[in-house]
Amino acid sequence: MTGPRHREPGRSPEAVPREAGPGEKGVTDTLDVDFTRSRRGRMFRSPRGAITTSTLSTLAVLAAIVVAFLLAPGSRAVRATYFNGPNMWQAFVGDPHEGFYSVGKAIVVNIEMFAIGEVLILVLALVIALIRQSTSPVLFPLRMLAIAFVDFFRGVPLILVILAIGFGLVTASVLAVSGVGLSLQFGVTNFVNFAYGDYATLGAYIALLLNAHGMSVYLAMVIAALGVAVFAVIVNRYLFRPFLDKRVPLLTLLIVSLGLSLIIQNGIQSIWGPNFQTYNVAQQTSLAIGPLLLTVQQIIIIGVAAASRDGEPTSSSSSSVSLTRPTDRPRPTRAGCADGSTSP
């Protein structure tokens, strides 16, 4: 008998030849499948193989996107509108007589402004750095300004602050008014009504309907608010009250309000559609308040939000009344005294 064969260096155990046994006719196991897979894996893991593979896969994906674009319906119209060579060149060169200017010249002007601005920024930054590092008492006011500029305005660009205040103040006011109503509703009912926002949306569309028939938008808003109030009373009487009479958990009320929210949303979409709607409002002049331009309506919205926020009751002065029945409220307990008696 011969001893066991040792595996040759660089070869897998499956590739070691085996001697023919009794009854076998010189069969030799040369299973090189795993060896081939290992070579292929090393090829993909090598830097050159990884670059080749990523390049080929990227080209395949880009080719698939181009083919899908060319075969898509309306591809010819898109190419004629956005990828027209003569039109693109004419836009790049420009023709003031036709009413449009050169995009190429605009790019050059942008680069020139960038170069000039970069020089001025470097000079200003150097001056600010020198003032900030100075220790002279005479430069103390300028040093405070430099520190404030570096620590605050560098992290939050001033233009972004102005735009955020200008465009976000009116939207934040609308959300604040809705938030005041939602907090009041939670304080009275003791549960979150997920359909509250849909109530406000329903009122907006009712006002839109009245305004479309010639009614003033302000009168339409008042009538819409009264109509939504009547709707909320009816919903509370015939939807929420039966569940409260059965003493269901608050989770059930949340689910019911969520279902009501979906019903209102789909009802609004089925009547008015998914498109944007606008009110018939007379155009008003804008008022310049510092760097902001606000209309009278926007100023009224901001004022209403501020007034409603100031008039909102605090948690210490407002009482939370639950929608549960009086019999469901906890009864007062008797506290034990030191002598063993009880006090009410």
Q: What is the pLDDT of residues 240-259, one digit of tens each?
A: 888 888 888 888 888 898 99
Q: What is the DSSP letter of 326?
A: G
- Separation of alpha carbons 255 and 28, rounded Å: 72
Handedness of CA 13, 14, 19, 23 (dihedral sign): positive
Question: Phi and psi dihedrals of 284, rounded to 5?
Answer: -115, 155
Q: Which of 5-19, 173-187, 194-208 has the highest average model confidence (pLDDT)?
A: 194-208
Residue type, 56: L
Q: How confident is the model at residue 122 (pLDDT cuts 50, 70, 90)?
A: very high
Residue type, 300: I
Q: Which residues pair with 342 in a beta bridge?
A: 336
Q: Tokens 């929608």 belong to which residue?
A: 323
Domain ranges of the chain: 35-83, 178-314
Question: Phi and psi dihedrals of 216, rounded to 5?
Answer: -60, 145
Cα dihedral angle (55, 61, 65, 67), rounded to 10 degrees? 90
| For residue 5, pLDDT beyond 60 | no
Tens digit of each residue's pLDDT (9 = 90 or more) over 273-315: 888 888 887 777 777 776 677 888 888 888 888 887 665 554 4
Tens digit of each residue's pLDDT (9 = 90 or more) over 315-328: 444 443 444 444 44
